[in-house]
Amino acid sequence: MSAAPRTSRELAETVLEVMRTRRVVRRFTDEPVSEADVRAVLEAGRWATTGGNRHVHRFLVVRDPAVIRLVKLMSPGMLNAPTALIVVCLDLEQSEQQQVPVERHDSVWIDVGTAAMNMMVVAHALGLGSCPVTSYSRSGVSTLLDLPETVVPQLFVLLGHPARHRRQLRTGASTRLSVDDLTYWEHYGQRTTA
């Protein structure tokens, strides 16, 4: 990365550049992720927005390859094994203490996404690959990881050093929505700012 940005515009461009160049990575080398890098990723998750500053989620880091392999067996969405796995968990005891009824508070699920996104952006800035996964057996993973009954695994962030891989796509198959595709101004359906 270039020299530290000096203005807010430069800072924004630096952050945007990290966001623009991040891609989901599903293939990893065997090289372990350093603890310092895992901690930096966790720090990013900790600083994510959380509804009412309640922090009803907890992160479980798994680095034992044997345990990761077991988790992968019950996780059809985990196409390849990472070298580190962060399980974003909902702690029902925390949510009860914070008086957050999980069935009525969308912020509980939104907070999972904000934490995961922060983590993946910082992972990319560190040169790591990452991938969010929600396609796993909740009961299977809870059993494998000996999670307490009051802890629900909500999302995995797979971490690792990216393996070289060239995605094969048909010509013209890739579509990427632009800001204008996604945005209306003032009224839903209005494409122009005027």
Partner 1 sequence: MAGQELTVSEEQAFELLAHLVASAELCITEPYYYGTFRLIDAASKLAGFLLAGPGDGSREWLEHFKTEVDAKKEWMMWDREGYFDFLRAASGDVAGELKRRVGRPPLGTADGAGTSR
Residues that bind partner 1 (CB under 8 A): 26, 73-77, 79, 135-140, 167-170, 173-175
Task: Output 108 or 141, the one with its CB closest to partner 1.
Answer: 141
User: What is the Cα–Cα distance from 134 to 132, expressed in whole angstroms?
Assistant: 7
By beta-carbon proximity to partner 1, the closer residue of 3 and 173 is 173
For residue 3, the minimal CB distance to partner 1 (Å) is 36
Q: Minimum Å distance from CB 92 to partner 1?
A: 20
Residue 105 CB, shortest distance to partner 1, in Å, is 20
Is the Cβ of residue 39 or residue 165 nearer to partner 1 in the bound state? 165
Min CB(54)–partner 1 separation in Å: 26
- Least Cβ distance, residue 186 to partner 1 (angstroms): 32
Q: Which is nearer to partner 1, 53 or 175 (CB)?
A: 175
Which of 158, 157, 159, 155 shows the shortest CA–CA distance to 128?
A: 159
Counting Cβ atoms within 10 Å, is residue 164 exposed (0-12), middle (13-18) or buried (19+)? Answer: exposed
Rounded least distance, CB 93 to partner 1, Å? 25
Smaller CB separation from partner 1, 40 or 117: 117
For partner 1, the closer of residues 126 and 136 by Cβ is 136
